[in-house]
Protein backbone atom coordinates (compact mmCIF):
# COMPACT_ATOMS: atom_id res chain seq x y z
CA UNK A 1 0.00 0.00 0.00
CA UNK A 2 1.35 3.39 -0.97
CA UNK A 3 1.89 5.93 1.77
CA UNK A 4 -0.33 8.99 1.88
CA UNK A 5 1.44 12.10 0.60
CA UNK A 6 2.96 14.50 3.13
CA UNK A 7 0.46 17.05 4.43
CA UNK A 8 3.09 19.79 4.36
CA UNK A 9 6.16 19.73 2.11
CA UNK A 10 9.56 19.90 3.78
CA UNK A 11 11.46 23.17 3.46
CA UNK A 12 14.67 22.65 1.54
CA UNK A 13 17.92 24.10 2.96
CA UNK A 14 18.09 26.90 0.39
CA UNK A 15 14.84 28.30 1.80
CA UNK A 16 15.73 28.07 5.51
CA UNK A 17 15.84 31.01 7.85
CA UNK A 18 19.11 31.82 9.59
CA UNK A 19 17.58 30.43 12.81
CA UNK A 20 16.81 27.11 11.10
CA UNK A 21 20.27 26.95 9.52
CA UNK A 22 21.91 27.52 12.92
CA UNK A 23 19.73 24.90 14.63
CA UNK A 24 20.49 22.27 12.00
CA UNK A 25 24.17 22.95 11.35
CA UNK A 26 25.08 19.61 12.99
CA UNK A 27 22.44 17.65 11.06
CA UNK A 28 23.99 17.28 7.65
CA UNK A 29 22.51 16.16 5.45
CA UNK A 30 19.18 17.12 7.01
CA UNK A 31 16.43 14.52 7.12
CA UNK A 32 12.86 15.09 5.95
CA UNK A 33 11.85 15.33 9.62
CA UNK A 34 14.20 18.27 10.18
CA UNK A 35 13.17 19.93 6.93
CA UNK A 36 9.53 19.67 8.00
CA UNK A 37 10.31 21.03 11.46
CA UNK A 38 11.81 24.03 9.62
CA UNK A 39 8.25 25.35 9.28
CA UNK A 40 8.62 26.44 12.92
CA UNK A 41 12.23 27.60 13.41
CA UNK A 42 11.68 28.68 17.03
CA UNK A 43 10.31 25.31 18.12
CA UNK A 44 12.95 23.51 16.05
CA UNK A 45 15.76 25.45 17.74
CA UNK A 46 14.35 24.77 21.21
CA UNK A 47 13.61 21.11 20.46
CA UNK A 48 17.11 20.37 19.12
CA UNK A 49 18.75 20.89 22.51
CA UNK A 50 16.10 18.91 24.35
CA UNK A 51 16.09 16.09 21.81
CA UNK A 52 19.87 15.87 21.79
CA UNK A 53 19.99 15.68 25.58
CA UNK A 54 17.31 12.99 25.72
CA UNK A 55 18.94 10.90 23.01
CA UNK A 56 22.65 11.28 23.73
CA UNK A 57 23.13 12.61 27.28
CA UNK A 58 21.15 9.80 28.88
CA UNK A 59 22.08 7.19 31.49
CA UNK A 60 20.63 4.34 29.45
CA UNK A 61 23.08 2.51 27.19
CA UNK A 62 22.85 3.14 23.46
CA UNK A 63 21.31 -0.32 23.03
CA UNK A 64 18.76 0.26 25.78
CA UNK A 65 17.77 3.60 24.25
CA UNK A 66 17.34 2.14 20.80
CA UNK A 67 15.31 -0.84 22.06
CA UNK A 68 12.94 1.58 23.78
CA UNK A 69 12.75 3.94 20.77
CA UNK A 70 12.06 1.11 18.36
CA UNK A 71 9.39 -0.24 20.68
CA UNK A 72 7.76 3.20 20.82
CA UNK A 73 7.84 3.43 17.02
CA UNK A 74 6.27 -0.03 16.70
CA UNK A 75 3.58 0.58 19.31
CA UNK A 76 2.50 3.95 17.90
CA UNK A 77 2.93 2.63 14.32
CA UNK A 78 5.32 5.38 13.20
CA UNK A 79 7.07 4.22 10.04
CA UNK A 80 9.43 7.20 9.90
CA UNK A 81 10.69 6.76 13.47
CA UNK A 82 10.97 3.00 12.91
CA UNK A 83 12.90 3.43 9.67
CA UNK A 84 15.33 5.99 11.10
CA UNK A 85 16.11 4.05 14.25
CA UNK A 86 16.17 0.63 12.63
CA UNK A 87 18.79 1.88 10.19
CA UNK A 88 20.84 3.47 13.00
CA UNK A 89 20.54 0.47 15.33
CA UNK A 90 21.67 -2.00 12.70
CA UNK A 91 24.44 0.25 11.36
CA UNK A 92 25.84 0.71 14.88
CA UNK A 93 25.56 -3.00 15.71
CA UNK A 94 23.31 -2.28 18.69
CA UNK A 95 20.87 -5.10 17.91
CA UNK A 96 20.47 -7.85 15.36
CA UNK A 97 17.94 -7.80 12.54
CA UNK A 98 15.99 -10.53 14.38
CA UNK A 99 15.93 -8.52 17.63
CA UNK A 100 14.73 -5.41 15.83
CA UNK A 101 11.98 -7.42 14.10
CA UNK A 102 10.83 -8.86 17.44
CA UNK A 103 10.24 -5.34 18.76
CA UNK A 104 7.45 -4.92 16.20
CA UNK A 105 5.59 -7.98 17.53
CA UNK A 106 4.07 -9.03 20.83
CA UNK A 107 6.96 -9.53 23.22
CA UNK A 108 7.94 -12.97 24.46
CA UNK A 109 10.04 -12.23 27.57
CA UNK A 110 11.88 -15.54 27.09
CA UNK A 111 13.47 -14.10 23.92
CA UNK A 112 15.14 -11.26 25.87
CA UNK A 113 17.37 -11.03 28.90
CA UNK A 114 15.28 -10.44 32.06
CA UNK A 115 16.51 -6.83 32.20
CA UNK A 116 15.71 -6.11 28.53
CA UNK A 117 12.30 -7.77 28.88
CA UNK A 118 11.63 -5.43 31.81
CA UNK A 119 12.85 -2.43 29.76
CA UNK A 120 10.48 -3.29 26.91
CA UNK A 121 7.65 -3.93 29.39
CA UNK A 122 8.32 -0.56 31.04
CA UNK A 123 8.13 1.11 27.62
CA UNK A 124 4.83 -0.65 26.93
CA UNK A 125 3.53 0.35 30.38
CA UNK A 126 4.37 3.99 29.73
CA UNK A 127 2.63 3.91 26.36
CA UNK A 128 -0.44 2.07 27.62
CA UNK A 129 -0.87 3.41 31.16
CA UNK A 130 1.24 6.55 31.37
CA UNK A 131 3.47 5.04 34.07
CA UNK A 132 5.82 2.13 34.71
CA UNK A 133 4.05 -0.80 36.38
CA UNK A 134 5.33 -2.61 39.46
CA UNK A 135 6.58 -5.70 37.61
CA UNK A 136 8.64 -3.75 35.08
CA UNK A 137 9.89 -1.38 37.79
CA UNK A 138 11.12 -4.31 39.85
CA UNK A 139 12.78 -5.87 36.79
CA UNK A 140 14.80 -2.71 36.23
CA UNK A 141 15.57 -1.98 39.90
CA UNK A 142 18.79 -4.00 40.08
CA UNK A 143 20.49 -1.73 37.52
CA UNK A 144 18.44 1.47 37.59
CA UNK A 145 18.81 4.43 39.90
CA UNK A 146 16.01 7.00 40.13
CA UNK A 147 17.87 9.00 37.47
CA UNK A 148 17.71 6.04 35.05
CA UNK A 149 13.93 5.83 35.44
CA UNK A 150 13.66 9.55 34.74
CA UNK A 151 15.77 9.20 31.59
CA UNK A 152 13.65 6.26 30.37
CA UNK A 153 10.40 8.13 30.98
CA UNK A 154 11.65 11.24 29.17
CA UNK A 155 13.06 9.15 26.30
CA UNK A 156 9.75 7.39 25.74
CA UNK A 157 7.83 10.66 26.02
CA UNK A 158 10.16 12.45 23.59
CA UNK A 159 9.81 9.76 20.95
CA UNK A 160 6.03 9.60 21.34
CA UNK A 161 5.93 13.37 20.79
CA UNK A 162 8.24 13.19 17.77
CA UNK A 163 6.31 10.23 16.37
CA UNK A 164 3.04 12.14 16.70
CA UNK A 165 4.53 14.99 14.68
CA UNK A 166 5.91 12.61 12.05
CA UNK A 167 2.60 10.80 11.65
CA UNK A 168 0.45 13.93 11.71
CA UNK A 169 2.52 15.59 8.97
CA UNK A 170 2.89 12.26 7.10
CA UNK A 171 6.60 12.91 6.65
CA UNK A 172 7.98 11.00 3.70
CA UNK A 173 10.55 8.34 4.54
CA UNK A 174 14.12 9.26 3.78
CA UNK A 175 16.18 7.03 1.49
CA UNK A 176 17.15 3.81 3.23
CA UNK A 177 14.35 3.95 5.82
CA UNK A 178 12.12 0.88 5.96
CA UNK A 179 8.48 0.82 6.97
CA UNK A 180 7.28 -1.20 9.93
CA UNK A 181 6.49 -4.81 9.08
CA UNK A 182 2.83 -5.72 8.62
CATH number of the domain residue 97 falls in: 1.20.1290.10
| pTM for the full predicted model | 0.95
Q: Is residue 150 part of a domain?
A: yes
Instruction: Give the domain extent around 139.
Output: 62-169
How does DSSP classify residue 14?
A: G
Q: Is residue 13 part of a domain?
A: no
d(CA 13, CA 66): 28
Q: Using the predicted structure, report yes or no on whether residue 2 has a pLDDT greater than 80.
A: no
Q: Is residue 21 part of a domain?
A: no
Q: Hey, how many other C-beta atoms are within 10 angstroms of the C-beta on 93?
A: 9
Q: Is residue 22 part of a domain?
A: no
Structure confidence by residue, pLDDT tens digits, 19-77: 999 988 877 789 999 999 999 999 999 999 899 899 899 999 999 999 999 999 999 99
> Total domain count for the chain?
1
Q: Which helix (H) or strand (E) holds 54?
A: helix 41-56
In this prediction, residues 157-179 reach a mean pLDDT of: 97
Q: What is the CA radius of gyration of the chain?
A: 17
Q: Is residue 113 part of a domain?
A: yes
Q: Is residue 139 part of a domain?
A: yes
Q: Using the predicted structure, report yes or no on whether residue 98 has a pLDDT greater than 60.
A: yes
Amino acid sequence: MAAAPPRVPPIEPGDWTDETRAALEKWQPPLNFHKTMAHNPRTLANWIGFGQAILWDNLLSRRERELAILRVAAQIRCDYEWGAHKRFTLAEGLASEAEVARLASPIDPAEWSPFEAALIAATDDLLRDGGIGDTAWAGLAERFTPAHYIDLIYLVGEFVMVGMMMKSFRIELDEGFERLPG
